[in-house]
Every structure is written in structure tokens, then in C-alpha cells.
């Protein structure tokens, strides 16, 4: 029986070689090159993808075989239709949330995971009260929660604005 | 990466059976081990995935907490009982790594992560006794700003990188182990080793021994605690120095306390000397300073890290002042 992994809604056979990272499976085997290989050692966040809907992980430090049977969403799988953008993708354009664009797919996937963590009440390093149920997602909270995604162009102001704008309009 | 076989363990006993071969390693979230394998510093021939083992966080009637070793760091940090009764652990975890890494990393893997000494990682260009026993250490006379000031040896000056373990050391955590011969428990402060002349050994674990759970004994004053991490940037960086503290203070007197330091040694550093000097003593500025100075009295600086001694003393004092009311 072939082992499979779901990538953007499609069941995909896992590679025979367990050395293949989830990032290399996406890019080299499936030619989904939206997910970027920045440092390939867990320091930059460019390879961030989502597991089972909204849990953000680093695909460079994940062996693909570890995610057998799980559902992976990459930047290519976010939009509803083929000619549409996810609201966060649109917001990144409107707020100039990038310059070169290399970190952008990781930023966007990370922000979706970040929003899910925030909604279920996960505190962060800058949360003053650990016991509170509702944490205001101000500037400092948002930047701390996104600190695993580096942008060497320094488009952080636009990135923060795009995420704040999208979360404000989200249900 | 060197080729390896990959299997999943059904339970702790099964894991130990599967790992009963040379060059086998347990795999948690992979955030450290996969990186080390890619750099060919770790070359396991067999990986045993233990992320399917217990990740339960159990509140026990005696007030203790039992955390399954496969629990993700995020799951521990956000757990209601941890946040309310052992906030020091939440704080330490949230001070470490990034959200993505915390979502992947397991508790057991965090404890067993390896040093981030850059010479340890530089397989081609540097000598390292931890990587190749007997080879020599390029950190001793190299760029050693991030390295140890306490408990180091001529053979190794690496530090243990975990924030979580600093909190666990302060909280008297007990590590539950499964080995080929059965189960045993060990205090976390006894798990990691000082380097001495065997820096290749990070811990006292027997080959193939598996961490199955971490137990936090009941500690009522653990609610009154702080974790302070000093680093080169405000997020997503390893500690230069960190302090974990829980204090039971009444009318300006320290009735009891737990103190540990991170970023300063080959293991999470329980500050036993400072604790014994402050227990049952007034929390005056003089007493706090004297205790911090005594804890660091044995510190030995390297060429680039003498600043860490003063930094550790001051951070200890600042944290304790914050928890005891900061009397002049």
C-alpha cells in the first residue's frame, strides 16, 4: 500500500526515500515552488506551510514521511478559485507587504496560522497576563507572533498593516 | 543526509525495542535532529518516530502535572493548568524559538536538543570535542561570546540552548524514562551533564533510553514566578543569559524560592548557592546582590564573554527585585 500525504486537497504518494523534506517534496517533486527555501535550517520562516488547516510549521525541518496522512496547505492552496486571491494575499498587495516577494508565501501562511493561535487564546512572549482569555492583537503582539518570518527587504510595516487589516475584516 | 530507515513507535516499549540497534535515534518534531542530520553531524541509520506516544497533560490529585513527552511545546505553553499554576514554564517556552518551531517541537526533544555552538555545527572547518571526541575545541580560543561561564572544562565550553529546561530545572521537574531494562525517574537537574572530559555525552541517559514524560511536582508558590531572557534581539534568538525564578515572599522575607540560569553552562544551571543564601532571609537589595554574586563566584570568563558574569548577576537581582517588591 502506498503511503500518501494530502497536498492542497490532493492525495499524493510520499517519496520512497525518508530523507526527503516536506519542502523538497513540495518544490522538487511536485513543482509547487511557491513555498521558498530560504535558509533550509529553520531560521528564516520562508518555508512556512499549514498542517491540517491552520497549524503553521517549517517545511524545511519536516521530513515528508512524518506527515503521512496529514493535510498540507501551501501558498498555492489558499485561494478558493483559480483566478482569485486569498484576502490576505490581496491585502499584501494593497499594503505593499513585500518588495522582492521571496518571504511572502511564508509570511502569508504564517499569518494564517498566527490568527488561528490568537483566536484560540494562545499567549505570546509579550502577553502581559497569561491567564486572560482575550488577548488584544496590537502592534507588539503581532510582531512577536510573526518573529519567525524574516523579511530582508524590511517590508515589515506593510506586512503588519496587511495582517491587521485582514483580521479586522475577518469574522 | 546519510540514508536511514524510518519507523513509527506504537508505544514506549515498542520504541525502545525499535531503537535497540546501533546508531538509532528517536525523532520528535525534528526541529534540531533533522537539521543536524542535514549537516551530517548526526548520522543515524534508523529513526524511530515517537511523536505518536503520549502527549497528554494530566493534572493529578496531588497537585502535580504529568506532561507526555510527545506534547508539543505550544500545547504545553497554552495549557490552562500550566498558565495558571506553573506560569514559569509557559513563559520560558514562549521565550524560545518561533511559533512554527514551537508547533513542531516536542517536550522530550526540547530536553534533548543539542548545543548551538557554531564550532559544533561546523563539521568541515572546526575542531570540536563534542562532535569528534579528542579532536580539540576551537571555541576555547575562538569567537566565544555565546559560550559558558559556569561548569565548563578545557574540553568544551558549549551551552545548553533550551529555555524550557531552565524553567524545568527551577521547578524541580522529574523526568520519566523507559529503557530496555524497565522504567526509572530522574530529576531534570541530574539529567544533563557538565562536559568534564567527555563533552560528547550531553546527558546521563543510557543508550536507547527514552523520555516518556516530564512531571512537575506541586509547588504552590510557582504562581509567583518570572522568566527573563536577555538576548541580542528581542525575539527568535537564543539566550545570552536567562533567569527563571519562583519566590514565596511574605512581609519582605523570602520564605522559599527556586532559581535557575540559562545560557551560562553545559546544562540548565540550578542556582543552589543563591537559593540557600536567600531562603528565610529579608529580600533586601544587599542580600539579593550578595546571593547573585556568590552564585557567579565560580564563573570563569572566556575571551569574549566576561560580560555574561555581570549580566547574569544583574539579571538575577532584577528578577528577584521584581518578585519581592524591589526594596531599597
pLDDT tens per residue across all 328 residues of chain B: 999 999 999 999 999 999 998 899 999 999 999 999 999 999 999 999 999 999 999 999 999 999 999 999 999 999 999 999 999 999 999 999 999 999 999 999 999 999 999 999 999 999 999 999 999 999 999 999 999 999 999 999 999 999 999 999 999 999 999 999 999 999 999 999 999 999 999 999 999 999 999 999 999 999 999 999 999 999 999 999 999 999 999 999 999 999 999 999 999 999 999 999 999 999 999 999 999 999 999 999 999 999 999 999 999 999 999 999 865 4
Strand ranges across the sheet with B210-216: B57-59, B65-68, B210-216, B174-179, B182-187
A149 to chain B: which residues are within 8 Å by CB? 98
pLDDT, residue A139, reads 95
Domain formed by A87-169, architecture: Orthogonal Bundle (1.10)
**Which of A57, A122, A124 minimises the CB distance to B104?**
A57
With CB atoms and an 8 Å threshold, state whether B47 touches A120: no
Q: According to CATH, what is the number of the domain B5-51?
A: 3.30.43.10
Q: Which residues pair with B242 in a beta bridge?
A: B229, B262
Provide the grid cell at B26.
Answer: 528517536
Please state the CATH superfamily assignment of the domain spanning residues B225-323 in this structure: CO dehydrogenase flavoprotein, C-terminal domain (3.30.390.50)
- What CA–CA distance (Å, rounded) separates B106 from B59? 19
Residue found by looking up cell 517534496 in the block: A25
- Number of neighbours of residue B75 by Cβ within 10 angstroms: 21
CB B216 within 8 A of CB B84: no
Residues 6+ apart with CB under 8 A from A166: A87, A88, A91, A111
Where in the sequence of chain B do the CATH 3.30.390.50 domains occur?
A: 225-323
Predicted TM-score (pTM) of the model is 0.98
Q: Which of A125, A129, A130, A163 to mutate to test the interface with B (most CBs of B within 10 A)?
A: A125
Q: What is the pLDDT of residues B107-139, one digit of tens each?
A: 999 999 999 999 999 999 999 999 999 999 999
CB B167 within 8 A of CB B67: no
* Pairing state between β B174-179 and B46-49: unpaired
With CB atoms and an 8 Å threshold, state whether A65 touches B6: yes
Of B246, B217, B224, B250, give the one whose Cα is nearest residue B84.
B224
Question: CB distance from B49 to chain A under 8 Å?
Answer: yes
Q: Which of left, alpha, beta for A30 (phi over 0: left; psi -120 to 50: alpha)?
A: alpha
ipTM, 2 decimals? Answer: 0.98
Task: Going residue by residue through chain A, which has 171 residues, state the pLDDT in tens, using 9 for 90 and above.
Answer: 579 999 999 999 999 999 999 999 999 999 999 999 999 999 999 999 999 999 999 999 999 999 999 999 999 999 988 889 999 999 999 999 999 999 999 999 999 999 999 999 999 999 999 999 899 999 999 999 999 999 999 999 999 999 999 998 665
A55 to chain B: which residues are within 8 Å by CB? 103
- What CA–CA distance (Å, rounded) separates B276 from A85? 61
Strand ranges across the sheet with A48-51: A10-13, A4-7, A71-73, A48-51, A55-58
Residues 6+ apart with CB under 8 A from B230: B239, B240, B241, B242, B263, B311, B315
- What CA–CA distance (Å, rounded) separates B18 from B20? 5
pLDDT, residue B277, reads 98
**Which of B30, B83, B95 minimises the CB distance to A63?**
B30
Question: CB distance from B90 to chain A under 8 Å?
Answer: yes
- What CA–CA distance (Å, rounded) separates A14 from A32? 15
- Number of neighbours of residue B5 by Cβ within 10 angstroms: 13
Domain formed by A4-77, architecture: Roll (3.10)
- What CA–CA distance (Å, rounded) separates B110 from B242? 16
CB B186 within 8 A of CB B177: yes
Residue A73: strand, helix, or coil: strand
pLDDT, residue A168, reads 85
Where in the sequence of chain B do the CATH 3.30.43.10 domains occur?
A: 5-51
Q: Enumerate the domain spans of chain A.
A: 4-77, 87-169
Contact residues, chain A to chain B, C-beta under 8 Å = 17-19, 21, 40-42, 45, 48, 55-58, 61-63, 65-66, 110, 113-114, 117, 120-125, 127, 130-131, 143-145, 147-149
DSSP secondary structure code for residue B296 in this structure: T
Amino acid at each position: 500500500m502506498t503511503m500518501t500525504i494530502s497536498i492542497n486537497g490532493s492525495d499524493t504518494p510520499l517519496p520512497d526515500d525518508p530523507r526527503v523534506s516536506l519542502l523538497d517534496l513540495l518544490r522538487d517533486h511536485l513543482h509547487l515552488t511557491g513555498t521558498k527555501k530560504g535558509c533550509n535550517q529553520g531560521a528564516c520562516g520562508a518555508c512556512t506551510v499549514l498542517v491540517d488547516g491552520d497549524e503553521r510549521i517549517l517545511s524545511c525541518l519536516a521530513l515528508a514521511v512524518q506527515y503521512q496522512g496529514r493535510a498540507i496547505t501551501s501558498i498555492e492552496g489558499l485561494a478558493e478559485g483559480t483566478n482569485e486571491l486569498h484576502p490576505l494575499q490581496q491585502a499584501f498587495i494593497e499594503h505593499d507587504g513585500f518588495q522582492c516577494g521571496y518571504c511572502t508565501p511564508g509570511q502569508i501562511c504564517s499569518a494564517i496560522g498566527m490568527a488561528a493561535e490568537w483566536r484560540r487564546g494562545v499567549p505570546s512572549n509579550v502577553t502581559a497576563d497569561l491567564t486572560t482569555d482575550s488577548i488584544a492583537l496590537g502592534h507588539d503582539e503581532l510582531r512577536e507572533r510573526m518573529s519567525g518570518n524574516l523579511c530582508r527587504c524590511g517590508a515589515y510595516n506593510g506586512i503588519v498593516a496587511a495582517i491587521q487589516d485582514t483580521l479586522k475584516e475577518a469574522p | 543526509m546519510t540514508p536511514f530507515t524510518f519507523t513509527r513507535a506504537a508505544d514506549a516499549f515498542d520504541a525502545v525495542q525499535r531503537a535497540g540497534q546501533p546508531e538509532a535515534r528517536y525523532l520528535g518534531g525534528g526541529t534540531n535532529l533533522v537539521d543536524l542530520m542535514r549537516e551530517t553531524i548526526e548520522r543515524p541509520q534508523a529513526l524511530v518516530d515517537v511523536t505518536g506516544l503520549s502527549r497528554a497533560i494530566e493534572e493529578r490529585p496531588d497537585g502535580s502535572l504529568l506532561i507526555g513527552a510527545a506534547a508539543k511545546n505550544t500545547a504545553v505553553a497554552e495549557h490552562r493548568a500550566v498558565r495558571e499554576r506553573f506560569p514559569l514554564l509557559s513563559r520560558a517556552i514562549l521565550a524560545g524559538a518561533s511559533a512554527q518551531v514551537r508547533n513542531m517541537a516536542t517536550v522530550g526533544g526540547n530536553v534533548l536538543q543539542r548545543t548551538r555552538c557554531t564550532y559544533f555545527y561546523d563539521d568541515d572547518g572546526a575542531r570540536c570535542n563534542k562532535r569528534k571526541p579528542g579532536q580539540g575545541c576551537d571555541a576555547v580560543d575562538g569567537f566565544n561570546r555565546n559560550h559558558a561561564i559556569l561548569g565548563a572544562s578545557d574540553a568544551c565550553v558549549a551551552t545548553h540552548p533550551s529555555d524550557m529546561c531552565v524553567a524545568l530545572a527551577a521547578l524541580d521537574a522529574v523526568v520519566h524514562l523507559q529503557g530496555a531494562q524497565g522504567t526509572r525517574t530522574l530529576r531534570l537537574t541530574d539529567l544533563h551533564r557538565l562536559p568534564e572530559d567527555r563533552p560528547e555525552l550531553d546527558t546521563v541517559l543510557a543508550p536507547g533510553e527514552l523520555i516518556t514524560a516530564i512531571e512537575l511536582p506541586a509547588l504552590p508558590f510557582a504562581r509567583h514566578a518570572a522568566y527573563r531572557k536577555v538576548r541580542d534581539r528581542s525575539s527568535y534568538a537564543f539566550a545570552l543569559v536567562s533567569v527563571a525564578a519562583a519566590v514565596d515572599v511574605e512581609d519582605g522575607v523570602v520564605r522559599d524560592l527556586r532559581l535557575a540560569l540559562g545560557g551560562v553552562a553545559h546544562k540548565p544551571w540550578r542556582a543552589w548557592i543563591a537559593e540557600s543564601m536567600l531562603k528565610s532571609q529579608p529580600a533586601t537589595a544587599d542580600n539579593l546582590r550578595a546571593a547573585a554574586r556568590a552564585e557567579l563566584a565560580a564563573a570563569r570568563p572566556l575571551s569574549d564573554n566576561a560580560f555574561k558574569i555581570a549580566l547574569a548577576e544583574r539579571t538575577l537581582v532584577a528578577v528577584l527585585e521584581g518578585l519581592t517588591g524591589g526594596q531599597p
